Amino acid sequence: MTQTHEFLNRERERLTNIDTALSHMRARMDTRRQETAAHIDEWKHERKVDELEAQALDAEGYAEATKRLLELAQDEAWAASQEAIEARRVANEAKQKV
């Protein structure tokens, strides 16, 4: 029982750390988007086509990267689900034998 409690505490702490990291990432992304929007407005006003083109390429690259990250996360979630199903099957089997 102690091992289960320790495991759950570690998992809770790990999830808290992930939530904190995600909050920091979102804050940085929001700040970056605001700064980028200000630069884009300036570049449009000054007709800085090269900067606008570079920004478009960066945005396209970022979009592709985030789509790939989503695909990887979905693959990981599927694998984790399969592992959980198997762990539950083994646990249920063990209960029946007791």
Q: Are 32 and 55 in contact (CB under 8 A)?
A: no
Same domain, 54 and 98: yes
Same domain, 72 and 60: yes
Where does residue 39 rank: exposed (0-12), middle (13-18), buried (19+ CB within 10 A)?
A: middle
Same domain, 59 and 97: yes
pLDDT at 58: 93
Same domain, 30 and 61: no
Which residue range is the domain that position 13 belongs to?
1-47
Does 76 score more than 90 pLDDT? Answer: yes
pLDDT at 56: 95
Q: Which helix (DSSP H) or strand (DSSP E) does residue 25 occupy?
A: helix 2-45
Same domain, 40 and 63: no
Does 97 score more than 90 pLDDT? Answer: no
Question: What whole-number distance in Å separates Cα of residue 72 and Cα of residue 37?
Answer: 29
Question: What whole-number distance in Å separates Cα of residue 56 and Cα of residue 61?
Answer: 9
Overall domain count for the chain: 2
Average pLDDT, the chain: 91
